[in-house]
Amino acid sequence: MVATPNDDTKDTAMSHTPRTPPLSAALGAFTDASSAPADSAADGAVPAADSNPDGLDLSLMKKKKKKVKKEEDGEAAEGEAAAGGDEAIDLSMKKKKKKKVTKEEDEFAKKLEALKLEGGEGAEAPADENVQDGDMDKGTGIWQHDETRTINYDPLLSRFFALLAQKNPDHASSGTRSYKIPPPQCLREGNKKTIFANLPEICKRMKRADEHVTAYLFAELGTSGSVAGSGQLVIKGRFQQKQIENVLRTYIIEYVTCKTCRSPNTELSKGENRLYFITCNSCGSRRSVQAIKTGFSAQVGKRRKMQQG
Amino acid sequence: MSGATEIQNLKSRDPFAEADEDSGQTTQTQEYIHIRIQQRNGRKTLTTVQGIPAKFDHKKILKVIKKEFACNGTIISDTESKGMGEVIQLQGDHRIKIRDFLVDNESGLGLDEKTIKIHGF
Ligand SMILES: [Zn+2]
């Protein structure tokens, strides 16, 4: 159910955040509230209120009222109340509830759990109202040591990933995350030419010279072209974005990524004997790459003129 | 891991092969068979196959291919291709089919797939 993954992630985030004891305390209160009703079914609404000491938003207040009403109405109305009370819960939840009508306490605990869940969901809305900001590293705002407010899920999650990246710098550069370049922008110039508008941007991203990429594009596409004013590449022939993209992809495999660790953080340099080498900045591996060769290129059009001329 | 260096360029027997190619001279050993595509006018394209080993009869290959792919084609002689060896040139995009033909053991040439490079988009 929805509650489970939510709680799980909270738990993980919590275990990775040793610097914020108040958080765990708050979460503890949260979990206590769910288990508490078995003991104190009569004042069921109270633990819910305790779990959110800051004074909950309106949505939760509403639910609290519903809760109280449910208690008064007793078992008879429970089915209906459950249906009305938690719109967010799926059918399976309701079914389970109906099955357990006999066990009042279980039922109540379940409902409280549902309430808690809804409170968690509702917390996303109030997050806009009382923004949980503050510097995580400096420990200000919500991250203050003696801060007792419950930290929202989103900042906790971002904190987890920030710490993960911080503590394991190798992680980010390993092959797990795919290498992304902006998609090539292709415009048509007239009927026979294609403009590749963001070539400089892509080259910058790949850390390769424009000329090198251009030479490769021309060699692979079997055509020629020129560079327009603002670094745009004018290619003879009609090409679609997808086609250019495919060529760029092979270029990245051939001339950008490290074959050993697959990191795109590499440098292309001209070594001795007119060989080009790719040096990986992540693992230090060095490999040679083929020089760009145009190979055979057929005479296209204007053949007669060429032969005569 | 670190410091590992593969030297692709030196795989061929003659380390100076590349230098020769750059200066436009014929090289004896060509590593790869290059299959390329070129745009002609409109939607029309050409497929060129460069570097099929000399032990095969290019004319016979062309004859078979033309029939099988239902396309016209021609052989560009070594002099015409400016020292890049005989090149088979076909009308239309037949890159995948040509590759399959070159690799096929029974009805094709049975070449190693690793020696074939398909270029283009
Ligand atoms: Zn590497």
pLDDT in tens, B40-91: 887 889 999 998 888 899 999 999 999 999 999 999 888 877 788 889 999 9
- Put simply, whether A238 touches B (Cβ < 8 Å) is yes
C-alpha A277 – ligand 1 centre gap (Å): 13
Cα–Cα distance, B77 to B83 (Å, whole number): 9
What pLDDT is stored for residue B103 in this prediction?
Answer: 92
Tell me whether residues A300 and B40 touch, CB distance under 8 A: yes
Contact A6, A92 (CB under 8 A): no
| Nearest of A208, A213, A183, A179 to residue A197 by alpha carbon | A183
Does the predicted interface ipTM exceed a cut of 0.90?
Answer: no
Residues in a beta bridge with B36: B48
Tell me whether residues B84 and A260 touch, CB distance under 8 A: no
- Per-residue pLDDT band for A110 (boundaries 50, 70, 90) equals low
Q: Which residues of B touch A297 (CB under 8 A)?
A: 36, 38, 48
pLDDT at A142 over 50: yes
Mean pLDDT of chain A: 67
User: Tell me, what DSSP letter sits at residue B83?
Assistant: S
Number of Cβ within 10 Å of residue B103's Cβ equals: 16
- Per-residue pLDDT band for B6 (boundaries 50, 70, 90) equals low
Cα–Cα distance, A25 to A3 (Å, whole number): 20
C-alpha A102 – ligand 1 centre gap (Å): 64
- Put simply, whether B5 touches A (Cβ < 8 Å) is yes
- Per-residue pLDDT band for A131 (boundaries 50, 70, 90) equals low
Cα–Cα distance, B6 to B115 (Å, whole number): 17
